[in-house]
Amino acid sequence: MDVLNGIVGVFSPVLLLYCLAGCVLGTLIGVLPGLGPAATMAILLPITMTLDNATGSIIMLAGLYYGASYGGSTTSILTNIPGEVSSVPTCFDGFPMTKAGRGGEALWVAAVSSFIAGIIGCAILAFVGPGLARFALQFGPPEYFALLFFSLTALISLSGESLLKGLGVGVLGMLLATMGSDPVSGEARFAYGQLALARGLDLIPVTVGLFGIAEILVSSEAGIARIYEGKLGRMMPRGQELAKSLKAALRGTFIGFPLGMLPGMTPPVASFMAYDVERRISRHPEKFGSGVIEGVAAPEAANNANAQAGFVPLMAFGIPTGPAPALILAALMIYGLQPGPMLFINNKEFVWTVIGSMFVGNVILLILNLPLVGLWARLSTVPYKYLAPVILGVCVVAAYSARNAVFDIWVALLAGVAGYAMRRCGWPVAPLILGFILGPMIELALSQSLNMGGPAIFFTRPFSAGLLLLAAIVVALSIAVARITKRRRTA
Amino acid sequence: MPPVSRKGIVEGALFFAVGMAGMAEALRLSRLPAGLQQTLAPGYYIAGLSALLLVIGLVHMALAGGSSAAQPGGVRPGRMLAMVAVLVAYVAAIPIVGYTAASLAFFIAAFRFFGVAAWSRSILLGLVYTAAFHVVFVVYCEVIFPRPMVTLF
C-alpha cells in the first residue's frame, strides 16, 4: 500500500516534472560520451539544492542516475563509443548489430531490458527495504563501524589493476576528509592558521574536480568521434530472437541486483559479469562479438538492476555502494535527512514517494528511449567543442555555489588536475571518493564505539565480529585471486 | 638487476610525503589535552591513516624497483596545461572583474581552445553562453558571486 501511495504522490505536477527532468538529463548524459552519472550528479547537486524541495531534488538525482544506465547504450550500439563505462559490454554485440542493419532491434532490446530490470529492481527495493531498515534499527556504533569497514572492501573492486594503488588512494581520501574540525574536540586539523582550510574540504568541489573537470581535461586530448549515420532498421525483434533477449534480460537482472547491494559492485562490474555469464551458458559462445542479441540484453539489464539495487543499502543502512549513490547520500544529508533505518520511520512519505518515482521514472525512460531514440542519436552528434566549455562553466558554478567560496573553485581545479594525473598514470579515482565519504563516518563510529567499551567491543558483539571477519575473508580472497590471475597471465 | 621505474618512485614518494605531513599533524594534535570521555584522542585516527600511507608509499617505491621502467607513451600534457591556465585565469578573474565579465572572457577563450576556428563565432557563442549562465545562475538560482574589485559602470 505504501508504495502505491508513493506512486500516487509522484503524480503531482511538480514532482512529475522533477522526475521527468532527472530522466531526460540522465538519458542525455548517458548518450553523450565523456560525462558519467557521478560527474553530472556532482555538478548538479548544488544546483538542485536551490530548488528548495528535498523530495523533488532526490527524485531528480535518482532519475539522473538510473536514466544514465538507459542512455549509455545508445552510443554503444550506434557508434561503438560507450556513453558510460557500464555500457562497454553493450558495444561488443550492439555495434556489430548496427553494422548489420539491426541497430533498431539492438536499441529496442536495450531499452526493454533496462525497463524490465528497473521495474523488478523497484519491486524488490519496495519489498526488501523496510525489512532491512527494521533490522538496521538494532545497530549500535560498533555494528555501524563494522559495516562501514566492510564497505571499505569496495576499495578492492574499485582498485582496478593494483590493489595497492586503490588502497593508497582510498586512505588518501580518508585523510583528506579529516581536514577541518575534529568531530569530538572541535580542534582544527590541517588548517595551518588559514580560515579556508579550517572549514575543511567540501565533497562537491572535490567530486566536481575529480570527475567533471578531469574528464574534460582527458577528453580534450582524446577527441570524440561522430555518430554512425546508418539506418536503424526495424525496432522490435521477432520470434526466437525476442524470447532469447527477454530470457537474457531476466538473467541479467538477477545477476545485477544482488551485486548492486554489495559495496563496490558498481554497474560496470555487473554488466561485464552478465555478459560473461551469457557467453558461458550460450550454445554458441563463438558468435558473441558478432551481433548476438543476448549480448545486448543481459549487460543492459544487469547495469540497470545494479543501479536500482544501490538504493537498498543506501536507504536501509545509509551506506553508499559507489560514487553515484554516495552523492545521493550527500544530497540527503544536505537536506537534513538522516539516511538509514530511521528514514523509513521519520520520513516515511518521502521514502515511498522516492521509491514510487522510480516506477514512474522507468516508464518515462521507456517512452523516452523507444520513440525518441532517433532524437538521442542526433543529440550525440553535438560537437565536443560546443559542449566542453558549458560543462566547465557549470563545474565552476557547482564548485562555488556549494559554500559560496572561491576557495572551493580552486579546490575543484586542483582536484581536476589531480584527477587528470591519476587517470594518465593509471591510478583509480573512485576509491578516493569512497574514502572521502566513508572516512568521517568511520571516524565517528570508531570514536563512539571505543567510548562504549574499548577495542574489545567489536569482537564481543556478534554482528560486528561477523562483519569484520567477513571483511578479512573478502580481503584475503581478493589478494589470493589477484595473485592467481597474475601468475596465469605471466605463465 | 631489474630496471627501476622512476614514475613508481615518484608516486611512492608522494604518498610517503603526504603520510609524513599527516604524522606531523597527528603529533601536534596528540599534544593537545583529550576531552572528557574521549577514548580516541585527537590525532590518533590521523596517525593511523598516515602510518598506512607511509607503508603504502614505501611498498610502492620498493615494488617500483622490480617493475618495468616503461613510461606511458602518447601523452602530451601541453593541451591540458593550456586548458588549466585558462581555468586558473578565469578563477583568478572572478573576484577582480566579477563573474559575468570573467565568464565572457573564459567562454571566448574556451571556444577557441576547443576548436571553434573563427573569432567572430567564438565571441558570439561566448556572449550567448554568458547570457544564459547569467540568467540561470545569477537571476534564477540567485547564486551570490563575489563583488568585483574593478567595475566599469
Task: State pLDDT tens for residues A418-432.
Answer: 999 988 888 888 788
User: What is the average pLDDT value for chain A, to the nearest integer?
Assistant: 80
User: Which DSSP letter does residue B134 get?
Assistant: I
Interface list for A 54-83 with B (CB within 8 A): none
Write the Ramachandran bin of A264: left for phi over 0, alpha for psi from -120 to 50, otherwise beta. Answer: left
Answer yes or no: is pLDDT of B118 > 80.
yes
Q: Which residue has the cell 549513490?
A: A325
The whole-number pLDDT of residue A297 equals: 92
CA–CA separation, B100 vs B31, rounded Å? Answer: 48
The whole-number pLDDT of residue A240 equals: 85
Whether residue B73 lies within 8 A of chain A, CB to CB, comes out as no
The whole-number pLDDT of residue A429 equals: 81
The answer to whether residues A382 and A32 touch, using CB atoms and an 8 Å cutoff, is: yes
The whole-number pLDDT of residue A310 equals: 83
Answer yes or no: is pLDDT of B124 > 90.
yes
The partner residues of A180 in beta bridges, in order of sequence, read A189
Give the model confidence (pLDDT) of B39-79 as tens digits: 666 788 899 999 999 999 999 888 876 554 444 444 556 78
Q: Quick one: what percent of chain A has pLDDT higher than 70?
A: 86
Give the model confidence (pLDDT) of A169-202 as tens digits: 989 999 999 998 887 777 888 888 888 888 889 8
How far is residue A170 CA from its own chain's centroid? Answer: 17
Q: Which residue has the higher pLDDT, A49 or A362?
A: A362
> How big is chain B by its Cα radius of gyration, in Å?
24
Q: Which residue has the cell 531514440?
A: A373
Q: Which residues from chain B sit within 8 angstroms of residue A417, using beta carbons?
A: 84
Determine the residue type at A443: E
Q: Which residue has the higher pLDDT, A27 or A230?
A: A27
Q: Strand ranges (DSSP E) for A10-121?
A: none
Q: Where are the alpha helices (DSSP H) in A100-193?
A: 103-136, 141-151, 154-158, 163-176
The whole-number pLDDT of residue B104 equals: 95
CA–CA separation, A120 vs A250, rounded Å? Answer: 9
Determine the residue type at B85: A
What's the average model confidence in pLDDT over A69-89? 70
Whether residue A179 lies within 8 A of chain B, CB to CB, comes out as no
Determine the residue type at A180: G
The whole-number pLDDT of residue A225 equals: 43
The answer to whether residues A69 and A25 touch, using CB atoms and an 8 Å cutoff, is: no
Answer yes or no: is pLDDT of A84 > 80.
no
3-state secondary structure of A181: strand
A–B: how many Cβ contacts below 8 A? 143
Which H or E run contains A468?
helix A462-490
Q: Which residues from chain A sit within 8 angstroms of residue B32, using beta carbons?
A: 185, 187
The whole-number pLDDT of residue B52 equals: 93
The whole-number pLDDT of residue A404 equals: 85
User: Which DSSP letter does residue B72 get?
Assistant: P
Q: Which three cell numbers stand for residue A287?
A: 558468435
Q: Which residues from chain B sit within 8 angstroms of residue A420, using beta carbons?
A: 80
Facing B90 at nearest CB: one of A189, A396, A420: A396
The answer to whether residues A378 and A79 touch, using CB atoms and an 8 Å cutoff, is: no
Q: Quick one: what percent of chain A has pLDDT higher than 90?
A: 8
B150/chain A closest Cα distance in angstroms: 17
Answer yes or no: is pLDDT of A228 > 50.
no
The answer to whether residues B30 and B42 touch, using CB atoms and an 8 Å cutoff, is: yes
Q: Which residue has the higher pLDDT, A322 or A116?
A: A116
The whole-number pLDDT of residue A378 equals: 63
Answer yes or no: is pLDDT of A20 > 80.
yes
Q: Which residues from chain A sit within 8 angstroms of residue B90, using beta carbons?
A: 396
Whether residue A389 lies within 8 A of chain B, CB to CB, comes out as yes
Highest mean pLDDT among A89-98, A295-304, A394-403: A295-304
- Angle, vertex CA A357, rays to CA A356 and CA A362, nearest 5: 105
Burial B102-128 (b: 16+ CB within 10 A, else e): bbbbbbbbbbbbbebeeeeebbebbee
The whole-number pLDDT of residue B69 equals: 44
Q: Which residue has the higher pLDDT, B69 or A72?
A: A72
In this prediction, residue A82 has a pLDDT band, given cuts at 50, 70 and 90, of low
What's the average model confidence in pLDDT over B142-151? 81
Q: Which residue has the higher pLDDT, A85 or A198?
A: A198
Q: Which residue has the cell 501511495?
A: A5
The partner residues of A189 in beta bridges, in order of sequence, read A180
Q: Which residue has the higher pLDDT, A381 or A249?
A: A249
B72 and A424 within 8 Å at the Cβ level: the answer is: yes
Q: Which residue has the higher pLDDT, A412 or A40?
A: A412
Number of other CB atoms surrounding residue B78 within 10 Å: 9
The whole-number pLDDT of residue B50 equals: 94
Answer yes or no: is pLDDT of A166 > 60.
yes
CA–CA separation, B20 vs B32, rounded Å? Answer: 19
Q: Which residues from chain A sit within 8 angstroms of residue B91, using beta carbons?
A: 396, 406, 409-410, 413
The whole-number pLDDT of residue A353 equals: 87
Whether residue A85 lies within 8 A of chain B, CB to CB, comes out as no
Q: What is the DSSP code string of A445-465?
A: HHHHHHHHH-TTHHHHSHHHH
CA–CA separation, A78 vs A236, rounded Å? Answer: 16
Q: Which residues from chain A sit within 8 angstroms of residue B60, using beta carbons?
A: 164-165, 168
B25 and A168 within 8 Å at the Cβ level: the answer is: no
Predicted ipTM?
Answer: 0.89
Answer yes or no: is pLDDT of B37 > 60.
no
Phi and psi (nearest 5°) for A189?
Answer: -120, 140
A150/chain B closest Cα distance in angstroms: 17
The whole-number pLDDT of residue B122 equals: 92
Q: Which three cell numbers stand for residue B33?
A: 589535552
Q: Which residues from chain B sit within 8 angstroms of residue A416, using beta carbons?
A: 84, 87
The whole-number pLDDT of residue A155 equals: 67
The whole-number pLDDT of residue A380 equals: 56
CA–CA separation, B24 vs B47, rounded Å? Answer: 9
